Amino acid sequence: MTKRERYKKIASLLEHSFPKAEFELHFESTYQLFVAIILATRCTDKLVNETTPSFFAKYPSVYELAQATEEELLRIIKSISFPETKARHIIKAAKTIVFQHGGSIPNNQAELLQITGIGQKSANTILAEGFGIPAIAVDTHIARVSQRTGLSSQTLPEKIENDLIHIIPKEKWITDSHRLILLGRYICTFRSPMCDKCPIQLYCTTRTPEKANENLLF
């Protein structure tokens, strides 16, 4: 069985298990998406979603944000991980967007990667969720599931992404990314994965018999 054939079977099972898989960060514009993505680095989507309403009430657009001070931002995002670094990055990024991009979030990877706080995963997420441009944003969940199912033996996100884009049909990059993330976030967790509840355990290369639910294999 080729990796592409293997993924086709996995994708079918994930579609059944997560039929309405969606991006879990809340946003109403590409500006809000951009901010939420920076805040979500090494932080839960739940905490970010609890923080962004007050953030956007105070900074409704990138123009207000570009004039903010780090002290002001820290009062709002103090519960977020690495608040000092993120406050600094967000303000610098906002100024770049205002002065170099006319206040609009760029819709191409090259320009996004030039913005402070935006790496390849974040850039791909903005393209996919903000503009509907097919992209695979490899986070820790996608990386873990890809490795455990044998879809990629790589460890670097960029190399895992390269493996996946050759396996997953382009029109499925966004929706299937959501399903891989949900599986990794809620079932195929880093510690104590719930193998007995995993819909794709038949295709997992690391599962142990004592954790498997044989009723799910057929």
Map out the domains of the chain as residue ranges: 3-21+137-216, 30-131
Q: Is the pLDDT of residue 177 over 50?
A: yes
Look-up of token digits 């680095």: 41
- The residue count for the chain: 218
Tell me what pLDDT residue 211 has: 52
Q: pLDDT class for 218, splitting at 50, 70, 90?
A: very low
pTM (global) more than 0.75: yes
Contacts of 146 (CB under 8 A, 6+ apart): 138, 152, 160, 163, 164, 180
For residues 19 and 209, give the distance between their C-alpha atoms in angstroms, rounded to a whole number: 28
Give me the chain's average pLDDT, please. Answer: 93
CATH domain 3-21+137-216 topology:
Endonuclease Iii, domain 2 (1.10.1670)
The architecture (CATH level 2) of 30-131 comes to Orthogonal Bundle (1.10)
Tell me what pLDDT residue 217 has: 33
Q: pLDDT class for 116, splitting at 50, 70, 90?
A: very high
What average pLDDT score do residues 71-85 get? 96
Q: Which residues are catalytic?
A: 121, 139
What average pLDDT score do residues 40-46 get? 93
Q: In the chain, where do the E strands start and end?
A: none
What average pLDDT score do residues 6-20 get? 94
* DSSP string of 75-121, one letter each residue: HHHTTSSSHHHHHHHHHHHHHHHHHHHTT---SSHHHHTTSTT--HH
Per-residue pLDDT tens over the stretch 153-167: 999 999 999 999 999
Tell me what pLDDT residue 206 has: 83
CB atoms within 10 A of CB 205: 10
